[in-house]
Amino acid sequence: MFLLVMTSQAQELKLPKLDQSPADIAYLRANRNSPPIAKIIYGRPQKKGRLTFGVESPLAPLGKLWRTGANETTELIVYQDITLGGKKVKAGEYSLYSIPGEKEWTIILNSKLYTWGHFQYDESQDVLRFSAESKTNQPLVEAFTILFSSPEEGSSSSTLYLAWDTTIVEIPVGF
């Protein structure tokens, strides 16, 4: 009897549809076999023919705060002290926001964690702000992508890339 009840309940399970902006993770490691130095967890919005960056963009308007991805606020977990954009960042967990611009972005690390989007953003909890150059990238990147470059053998530096549509932001990382 118990088995029949469990079988009928399992058949009624309704799974949610796939997320339109799936979650992804970017890791920074000194090499493939080393423990992570940093990790970014973020949502990957898709361009789908829409205006991604611009004054009129509903996705990431120029000059306005953006969660740097989709859904939950993007999270940066730093396992050891690093530099990001030439600024010191202590080991810890941060929310990663940005303010996109045509030629330059403002990158923001904030101590308020586990929020949705940028709706609970609190500027008084900013830990760090710096500027990063924005460039035109070809070919077009359909899904917003965050990644760290692989450090060269013996190197203690990497580049953090934010790429979407024809825009790319490169942020130097030291460890």
Confirm whether 9 is domain-assigned.
Answer: no
Q: Which amino acid makes up residue 32?
A: R
> Following DSSP, what letter does each residue of 86-154 receive, concatenated?
TEEE-SEEEEEEEE--SSEEEEEEES--S-BTTTT--GGGEEEEEEEEEEEEEEEEEEEEEEEPPPPTT
Asked whether residue 34 is assigned to any structural domain, the reply reads yes
Residue 134 within a domain: yes
**DSSP secondary structure of 81-97:** -EEETTEEE-SEEEEEE
Nearest of 53, 73, 71 to residue 63 by alpha carbon: 53
Asked if the model's pLDDT at residue 130 lies above 50, the reply is: yes
Residue 83 located in a structural domain: yes
Is residue 8 domain-resident?
no
**Residue 6 included in any domain:** no
Q: Is residue 160 part of a domain?
A: yes
C-alpha–C-alpha distance, residues 100 and 132, integer Å: 10
Per-residue confidence (pLDDT) for residue 29, from 0 to 100: 97
Residues spanned by the domain of 77: 18-118+125-174
Percentage with pLDDT > 70 across the chain: 94
Comparing 18 with 161, the larger pLDDT belongs to 161
Whether the predicted pLDDT of 27 surpasses 80: yes
Average pLDDT, the chain: 93
Spatial contact of 90 and 83, defined as CB atoms under 8 Å apart: no
Tell me whether residue 1 is in a domain.
no
Per-residue model confidence as pLDDT tens digits over 92-129: 999 999 999 999 999 999 999 999 989 999 999 999 99
Q: In terms of Cα–Cα distance, which of 145, 126, 132 is closest to 102?
A: 132
Sign of CA dihedral 104, 137, 158, 112: positive
Let me know: does 110 contact 93? Beta carbons within 8 Å.
no
**DSSP per residue over 36-70, as a string?**
EEEEEEEE--B-TT---EETT-SSEETTS-B-SSS
Based on the structure, what is the number of domains in the chain? 1
